[in-house]
A and B are shown apart, each in its own frame.
Chain A
Amino acid sequence: MFRQKKDKVPVSTRSLGKRIYYYRGFYLMFLPVLIFALIFYYAPMLGIRLSFYDYKGIKDPVFTGLKNFEKMFSMKGFWAAFKNTLEISIIKLLINTGAAVVISLLLNELIFLRFKKIAQTIIYLPHFMSWVVTASVFTLILSPTQEGLVNAFLTTLGFVEKGNEIYFLGLRNLWRPAYYVINIWKETGWGTIIFMATLSGINPELYEAASIDGADRWQRMKFITIPALMNTIITVLILNLAKVMNLFESVFVLQNHAVVRQSDVLATYIYTQTFNSGALPNYGYTTAVGLVRSLVGCALVLICNHISKRIRGRGIV
């Protein structure tokens, strides 16, 4: 009975114009946002048309139909970048989220509040460092010399011989693991915030009841904490999955010529095509690559929205 009443949406009998006039104050407040969105989000979309043109920024664009797309789909570099974007982003997302959950659970187990706060502050800090600084720091830490902290440590332990240090950022099979570790260091702390908030919202009576029933620490975590976190974990994964195509800065500052095949993502591919071609760039081609990147990102958002509706009962957009 109640549900039926809720579903019944009242319909105004006034015209649209009159309603707008009636709520003019709200519309006036909304106006700056609308203008901002139109200028900075919608107007630039007109540039999408360049993907169907040859355009070097001087003469009028020359319509070439689907030529840019044909070229793009025939280039190995594009497909490598496309594959890398998805692989690196998704693996990074899973690892970072997993690490954030683990760290959150560990922090949650800390009894001394002061130490917990200090630990939280310390692990949040790397998030505020720019990627340029992070890359410089890790280039030193991972240096293939005895001055590199990791190699010196491995040498001390006897895993690496002096003079045969490992070039973590220069070897094709080690670049990605190194990249993921750096990402964990930088972003995991920040990622714990949302999980810590969820953990603090779990009713303590559940733990008390479980303790009375004889549950040990591990059992309390397994049967209370993790199930309580699950909805948040899925939400975080879904929300971040929609952003996987946006990878650029972290890769750009850490990649080098030796690992370009393992590290080149769509955004760095666009950058190379635009600025490193040694000639006036064809903005038509780079716009086409950008368009495909946006479309894939858009598709991911819609898929995530659909998954979210199925799992959580509400969408993300």
Chain B
Amino acid sequence: MRGKRSLLSLILVFVMVMSLALTGCGKDDPAKDPDVSETDGKSGNEDNKDAQKDSDSGKDGQKDAKDEVKKPEKIKVMVDGTLVTQENGRAAFEKAWTELTGVEIEIIQPDHDAYYDVVGQTIASGDWPDVILLGSTYYAGYASEGVLWDMTEAWENSDMLASGAIPNPELIDGLKIDGRLYGITPARGNGCVTYIKKAWLDNVGLGVPTNYDEYLKVLDAFTTGDPDGNGVNGDTYAVSSAGLIGKEAPYTNYLPEFYQDAFPSFYMNEEGKWVDGFTEPAMVGALERLRDAYQKGYIDKESLTNGTSDCRNKFYEDKFGIFTYWAGTWGTNLKKNLEANGLDGELIAMEPIAEVGAYLERQAPVWCITSTCENPEAVFDIFFETMLDGGEGQRLWTYGVEGVHWSTVAEEVCGNTYTEGQFHMLENLEKEGTQYTKNHIDPMLSIRKFTAFEDPGAWQIAPEARNSQETFNANSKLVPLVLSTEEMSQYNGDLTTLKNEIVANVVTQGMDIEAEMQRFADEGGAEWSQMIVDSLNR
């Protein structure tokens, strides 16, 4: 009996060991296609380029291919919660899209907060959708790993580009990786603009600052004076932010006036070389400005531990007067919340001060076609050309479905009365008492204007929201899209932790900048940074 037990144990151990040893690499993964294998020494990008060149040689070839393209019966799309959800009438959206295109659509829409977990699992499983929405890090990473279809030629030969309806095609060019395009965004990424309370400026007798010196004067007046008019000097401060450095690109967007031309991560300089902005002299200047302002009390002491909601609440409670926050709808939200607290809600969306030059616009999530899509040219035509057609398709992606998400019937919705023919959004199916504001595309950020008819929802946009958005759009530049390299995966986690620690140490603990920069070098930061830079320039 004892022998049998031992034998059974041995067999079980053997099975476990063998399963551990042999279950490694046998799955039939689409990414294992010879076109993207590592053995030939080419990257996924290069192989995709070759494949693209083989299949599309010139515009005529593209046109012929277009003519020959067979419509797919169904498109499988993966998207986050920025599209109307199942509970909010997604079925109606799918039906309307199918009626518009003649193609069936299957939408995979995981929980918004867990979206990238599910994306990772889906890509790892090998069962890829035809079309997928990706954030910039995943876009660059998946493109370099050969997951995404190279749509450069499809874009360059597209009707929407040829028609000239896209006023800023450079926004799409900004998505190119090594000159190749793997995705398109229907809307700008948006960013933060600096709001300043007009009543506070009036109380201290200053105008809107246009350069850093003027800005400092405002900071000082807001911190040491009585900008809120409560009769007490020095009970306010000028600026608050959620963290001293952002967790993701553009990193500096909550404190642009202090960072100015410094960028604490990787970007391509004017000479076309990748560099790490953290190691440049501009970063030292930024740290000095931040430290000085923090020590003088201009910046909220709690900025290190603030969340964005903490900052908003303090702003509404009139504790500080300058808030760099999202442009567009937030302009209205900030105003309304100030007014709800019985305060003057007039805010000025500042143009960037001279030293800043331009606010940073984040990379918007990108719609991509996967490299396993059987008929990518047709999917491109059907999906993108309708999404940005300037007419019915765009209206569907912007406002949803008539009768479900919007209407023009005379009625009262959530206490608002509309006349016959007046476009308005309907009551949210999930949140009673609130109206929808949009579907997937924010009308203020769309890269294409409506051309078939006037933007039906334009009249609904509050003037302060429009003003802040226009200020931002006219004074912003796109944050660089950083490639994902092996070295980046290996070292950027530790590098980012070290950089963030140094910024916090210098600003909040008042530590010597030179000593901290020396520590950056001593603890391997400079070496990791250089390795990543080299990999990007390779």
With known contacts A49-B20, A261-B501, A277–B493 Cβ distance under 8 A:
yes
| B281 proximal to A (CB < 8 A) | no
A282 at the B interface (CB under 8 A): yes
Known: A169-B305, A272-B493, A277-B492. A258 touches B505 (CB 8 A): yes
- In the complex, which of the residues B25, B31, B245, B485 contacts A279, with contact meaning CB atoms closer than 8 Å? B485
Given contacts A59-B32, A256-B304, are A76 and B245 in contact (CB under 8 A)? no
The chain B residue with its CB closest to the CB of A63 is: B24
User: Is the pair A260, B490 in contact by a Cβ cutoff of 8 Å?
Assistant: no
Bound state CA distance, A119 and B120, in angstroms? Answer: 48
B1-31 interface bits toward A, Cβ cutoff 8 Å, 1 = contact, 0 = none: 1001100100000000001110111010101
B-contact bits for A38-76, CB 8 A (1 contact / 0 none): 000000011011000100111111110000000100011
Residue pair A60, B141 in contact (C-beta under 8 Å): no
Of A71, A76, A281, chain B has the most CB atoms within 10 Å of the CB of: A281
Contact with B along A229-262 (1 / 0, CB 8 A): 0000000000000000000000000001110110
Contact with B along A270-285 (1 / 0, CB 8 A): 0011101111111001
Q: Is the CB of A257 within 8 A of B500?
A: yes
Residues of B within 8 A of A279 (CB): 137, 140-141, 482, 484-485, 488-489, 492
Given A258-B504, A260-B501, answer yes or no on A143-B302 (Cβ-Cβ < 8 Å). Answer: yes
Give, as a whole number of angstroms, the nearest-CB distance from B254 to chain A. 14
Assign chain B's interface to a size class: 35 or more
State whether A58 touches B124 (Cβ < 8 A).
yes
In the complex, B497 has a CB within 8 A of chain A: yes
Give B497-516 as 1s and 0s: 1 = Cβ < 8 Å from A's Cβ atoms: 11011011100110000000
Q: Indicate if the CB atoms of B20 and A46 lie closer than 8 Å.
A: yes
B-chain residues with CB within 8 Å of residue A45 when the two chains form the complex: 20
Residues of B471-530 at the interface with A, using a CB-CB cut-off of 8 Å, are: 482, 484-485, 488-490, 492-494, 496-498, 500-501, 503-505, 508-509, 523-524
Q: Contact: A71 with B490, CB < 8 Å?
A: yes
Residues from chain B with Cβ under 8 Å of A143 in the complex: 302
Residues of B within 8 A of A15 (CB): 1
- Enumerate chain B residues within 8 angstroms of A170, measured Cβ to Cβ: 302, 304-305, 508
Partner of B301, one of A167, A272, A276, A285: A167
The binding surface of chain B is classed by DSSP as: helix
Residues on the B chain within 8 Å of A278, using CB: 137, 248-249, 265, 482, 488, 492, 496
Inter-subunit contact B36/A59 (CB<8 Å) = yes
Contact of B142 with A by CB under 8 A: yes
A172 within 8 A of B: yes
Bound-state Cα–Cα, A163 to B305, Å: 18
Q: What residues of chain B lie closer than 8 Å to A281, measured between beta carbons? A: 489, 493
Task: Judge whether A139 is part of the interface by a CB distance below 8 angstroms.
Answer: yes
Contacts of B304 in A (CB 8 A): 167, 170, 256-258
Instruction: For chain A, give the interface size range.
Output: 35 or more
Q: Do residues B23 and A46 form an inter-chain contact, with CB atoms below 8 A?
A: yes
B83 at the interface (CB under 8 A from A): no
Q: Chain B residues near A77: list those with CB within 8 A.
A: 494, 497-498
Q: Would you call A257 and B244 a contact (CB within 8 A)?
A: yes
- Which of B302, B496, B509, B523 is in CB contact (< 8 Å) with A276? B496
**Pick from A48, A53, A280: contact of B145, CB under 8 Å:** A280
Shortest CB–CB separation between residue B294 and chain A, in angstroms?
11
Nearest CB of B to A258, in Å: 4
Taking the nearest CB of chain A, how far is it from the CB of B413, in angstroms?
35
Assess whether A276 is in contact with B504, with CB atoms less than 8 Å apart.
no
Q: Decide yes or no whether B247 CB sits under 8 A from chain A.
A: yes
Residues of A within 8 A of B482 (CB): 278-279
Tell me whether A145 is interfacial, beta carbon within 8 Å.
yes
B145 in contact with A16 (CB, 8 Å): no
Q: Which of B118-165 contact A (CB under 8 A)?
A: 120, 123-124, 137-138, 140-142, 145-147
User: B123 near A285 (CB under 8 angstroms)?
Assistant: no
Q: How far is the CA of A139 from the CA of B86 in the complex (A)?
A: 37
A144 within 8 A of B: yes
> When each residue 190-227 of chain A gets 1 if its CB lies under 8 Å from chain B and 0 otherwise, what string results?
00000000000000000000000000000000000000
**B504 partner residues in chain A, CB cutoff 8 A:** 256-258, 260
A102: interface (CB < 8 Å): no
A264 interface residue (CB < 8 Å to B): yes
- Chain B residues, Cβ within 8 Å of A48: 20
- Taking the closest CB of chain A, its distance from the CB of B236, in whole angstroms, is 12
Instruction: Out of B4, B137, B492, B496, name the residue touching A16 (CB < 8 Å).
Output: B4
Instruction: Decide yes or no whether A171 CB sits under 8 A from chain B.
Output: yes
B400 an interface residue at 8 Å Cβ cutoff? no
A145 and B314 CA atoms in complex are apart in Å by: 13
Within the assembled complex, what's the spacing in Å between the Cα atoms of A6 and B32? 63
Within 8 A of B (CB), among A154-191: 163, 165, 167, 169-172
CA distance A276 to B244 in the complex (A): 16
When distances are taken between beta carbons in the complex, the residues of chain A under 8 Å from B503 are 257
B240 to chain A, nearest CB (A): 12
Q: How far is the CB of A68 from chain B (nearest CB, A)?
A: 10
Interface string of B326-362 (1 = CB under 8 A from A): 0000000000000000000000000000000000000
Q: CA–CA, A236 to B456, complex, Å?
A: 67
B280 touches A (CB below 8 Å) = no
List 5 A–B pairs whose Cβ atoms lie within 8 Å, in order of A's numbering: A16-B5, A169-B305, A272-B497, A277-B488, A278-B137
If A46-B19, A49-B23, A60-B31 are given as contacts, then 18 extra A-B residue pairs at C-beta distance below 8 Å, sorted by A number, are: A49-B21, A58-B123, A58-B124, A71-B490, A167-B302, A171-B509, A257-B245, A257-B504, A274-B493, A277-B488, A277-B489, A278-B137, A278-B249, A279-B482, A279-B484, A280-B145, A281-B489, A285-B490
Closest 9 CB pairs of A and B: A280-B141, A258-B504, A257-B504, A279-B488, A277-B493, A279-B484, A273-B493, A257-B500, A57-B124
Which A residues contact B (CB, under 8 angstroms)? 11, 15-16, 45-46, 48-49, 53, 56-63, 71, 75-77, 139, 143-145, 163, 165, 167, 169-172, 256-258, 260-261, 264, 272-274, 276-282, 285
